[in-house]
Amino acid sequence: MKRYYQQLAHYNQWINKRVYSSAGKLNQQALSENRGAYFGSIIGTLNHILVGDIFWFKRFANHPANYQSLEYFRSVKKPASLDEILHDELSELSEAREHTDSAIMQFISELTDEVIVSTLKYTNSKGQKFNKNMGDLLLHVFNHQTHHRGQVSTLLYQAGIDIGVTDMVVGISDK
C-alpha cells in the first residue's frame, strides 16, 4: 500500500514545482488579483493548499506512531482559518511549499502499512472529534491538493500562463 502513497507524494512535489515555476512568470499584482475563484486569487488558492496541508499534517503528527519526520509540522504555527494568507509573496510561499513537500516526502518514506490501516483520532477546526482511517485521510489530503491545483492551473491559464501537462501518468514508469 505504501507504494501508492509514495507515487502520490512524488507527483505532489513534481507538480507543485511546475505550478510555482509557472506562477513565477506573473508579477505580484497578477498573482494577487481576485479572479473570482473560491479563494480569490492565485496566491490565495496556493496559500489555501498550504494551509490545508498544515492542518492535516499537524493532525498526522499527533498519531501514536510519533513520526520524527513530522517534526516540521509540529513546529509550524497552526493557521487561524482555511483562507488565511500565510505568505503574500510568491517567493516566501514557494519556500514554505518546498519545506512542506520535503517533509511530506520524508514522512511517506517512513510510513508503514500498519499506520496506513490504523485509526487517527483528531479534532477538526470546528471542535468536532473524529476517528478515521489514516490511509483514507492521506488520500483526502492528496486529492485536496489536486483539486485546488486544478483551480490554480485554470487561473494561470486565464492569466496567459500554460503550465503544460499536469497528468500523473507522466511520472508512471513503463513496465
Angle at 91 between CA 163 and CA 35, to 5 degrees: 55
Q: What is the CATH number of the domain that holds 22?
A: 1.20.120.450
Contact 71, 62 (CB under 8 A): no
- 3-state SS assignment for residue 27: coil
> CA-to-CA distance for 129 and 86, rounded, in angstroms?
26
Over the stretch 91-130, which tens digit does the pLDDT of each residue have? 999 999 999 999 999 999 999 999 999 999 999 988 999 9
Confidence at residue 11, expressed as pLDDT on a 0 to 100 scale = 95
Note down the domain range covering 38.
Answer: 2-171
Over the stretch 32-88, which tens digit does the pLDDT of each residue have? 999 999 999 999 999 999 999 999 999 999 999 999 999 999 999 999 999 999 999
Confidence at residue 29, expressed as pLDDT on a 0 to 100 scale = 97
> CA-to-CA distance for 39 and 1, rounded, in angstroms?
33
Taking Cα atoms as reference points, which of 100, 122, 77, 81 lies closest to residue 17? 100
Confidence at residue 172, expressed as pLDDT on a 0 to 100 scale = 74
Asked if residue 175 has pLDDT above 80, the reply is no
Tally of domains within the chain: 1
- 3-state SS assignment for residue 129: strand
Angle at 102 between CA 96 and CA 107, to 5 degrees: 125
Confidence at residue 112, expressed as pLDDT on a 0 to 100 scale = 95
Confidence at residue 170, expressed as pLDDT on a 0 to 100 scale = 79
Asked if residue 160 has pLDDT above 90, the reply is yes
